[in-house]
Amino acid sequence: MAKMKRTWPANAFDATGIRARDSKVTIEGIDSDCVNLEGDHEENLRLEIVDRQLQIQTSERKDKAEFTLQLPKHKAWAVDLFSGQAEFMAGNIQARLNFILGKGEIHVENCSGALSVAAGKGNIHLEHFTETAIAELPRSTREWSLINLSKQESWPDWGMDFWHQAGRELGISVLKRFFKQSGDNEENAGINLQIGKGDLQLEDITINEFIVRCGMGDVKLKGGRLTDFDLNLI
């Protein structure tokens, strides 16, 4: 299959949104004025810039869709990932990270910004993470388009309408339904983790507001500074 490589100037967009059934995503901070995207499965990939957001969308596959996204360090970014199953790694970036996953592994190291995760099952490792104020990107005026590749695919586990209209609004509804949280005052927390089952490993973090809701799992905290820590093991 053809390898995929794309490059954009750093001012082309301010955020990236990823929709993939099964994904392995790596985000790296780089000393550059360009954004670089490398991965596989070009024939099953759709890229589109909508309202200052790079939308990355894949069709249904049995194997993982793998991407490496390199973002300039000098700029603050917003990253939104919605995936049935995902492996995510990020290093040396400043960003607002929002994840909605069925299950996954998340490793974030040497980063600053904010992190929000809603997952049925997930393990999270944060190392050298500092909360910083990063503005929310304005809501898009256009919803995600349906997959329109060489072969129309179905999404039997989710449903087409459910999948493509999912986003931040879905994340809040998930918190309300499964975690009995209002979601209204928790959106802006430096770290907000809502996990059905999983282990959390936190090393050298500096956070003003840290919210954790976990049904089953271990929480290990080593070093750092927390101003407001709200932990609820359901």
- State the pLDDT at residue 231: 80
What value does the mean pLDDT take over residues 95-109? 92
Band (153; pLDDT cuts 50, 70, 90): very low
Report whether 113 contacts 132 (CB < 8 A): yes
Residue located via tokens 């995510």: 88
Give the side-chain half-sphere CA count within 13 A for 75.
20
Q: How many CB atoms lie within 10 A of CB 188?
A: 12
* Contact partners, residue 65, CB within 8 Å, separation at least 6: 20, 21, 22, 23, 24, 39, 40, 41, 44, 45, 58
Tokens of 233: 């093991």
Name the pTM for this structure. Answer: 0.80
